[in-house]
Every structure is written in structure tokens, then in C-alpha cells.
Amino acid sequence: MEYTHLVSVAAMVHDGNGKILLVNSPWRGWEYPGGLIEPGETFEQALHREIREEAGVEVEIERFVGICKNVENNIVNIDFVCRYAGGQLTTSDESTEVVWATPEEAFQMITFPLTKKRLKNMLSMDKEAHFFAFIREPFTVVEDLTFPVGE
């Protein structure tokens, strides 16, 4: 049996003043920046590249949040929290709009249930790592685990 998985990284980027970065994808609507890791890239390199490509800004990674897997398509998503470090918000082929929003505004703007669940985990700021598996359509969580991290 041949095994193939695609791996992506994404992050909730905050500005330190209660706002988070959202990009409006032409394919998926409002979401946080992220995308597939390219061959030869590390997790960190891919995360910085995706955020720069989609939003035009630089970030510092603050913490790992968790992993989720689409069990139908074998896509593994790795989520982080980052702090804005500089740059001007810029759109691209992958983002028709880029904005700073409050968490409440973000939950209203984001319509896809998977994106909302991942954002909830990113905003939790707890000392747990989140791991879940899901089916995309209709969105169904088939496994949902948390494990302590840190001390």
C-alpha cells in the first residue's frame, strides 16, 4: 500500500492589541493565512512564506496549537499562533482582502465550520495541544483529542 499525505501550515496572527489577521481567499472565503508546505521547506519556512504571500506581513511564531487531518483526502493541517512583527497588509492572487478583526468579528466573517473550529483552538490560549480528525462535507469531527503541553 502506498501512503501519501499533503501537509499544510496555518496561523492565527495577532497584533498584540486584540485583533487577528484574516485573509479573504477567492476559493474559501475568510480565513487565517496558511497553505501547503512545498518540497524542501521546513514548517517554519512554509508558515512565514504563506503569511508573507497572502498578507504581506512578517510574524514571530509564539506557539504550536495542534494538528487536524482530513481523513478523506489525507491532508494534515498544522496550526500555530503568531505575533505580527512588521510589514503592510497586502493582497495577492491568494487573497482578495486582508484585514485586522476582533475575534468576534472573525467568527462572523468565517463561514466554513472547519475554519471556525481551528480558529477556536487557536484562540484558546490554553496549555493543551489540539488533535482532531474530520470529514469535510458535511463537516463532521470523527476524533477530537487534547493533550497537555508545557510544564
34, 115 contact by CB (below 8 A): no
pLDDT at residue 97, rounded to an integer: 96
Per the structure block, which three cell numbers stand in for 21? 489577521
Contacts of 67 (CB under 8 A, 6+ apart): 76, 77, 78, 79, 129, 130, 131
Residues in the chain: 151
The span from the CA of 149 to the CA of 65, in Å, is 10
Per-residue pLDDT of the chain (151 residues; tens, 9 = 90+): 788 899 999 999 999 999 999 999 998 999 999 999 999 999 999 999 999 999 999 999 999 999 999 999 999 999 999 999 999 999 999 999 999 999 999 999 999 999 999 999 999 877 889 999 999 889 999 999 999 876 5
12 residue type, one letter: M
What predicted TM-score, i.e. pTM, was given to this entire model? 0.92
Q: How many CB atoms lie within 10 A of CB 95?
A: 20
Rg (the chain; Cα; Å): 15
pLDDT at residue 22, rounded to an integer: 98
- Strands of 15-74, DSSP E: 20-25, 29-31, 34-36, 58-70
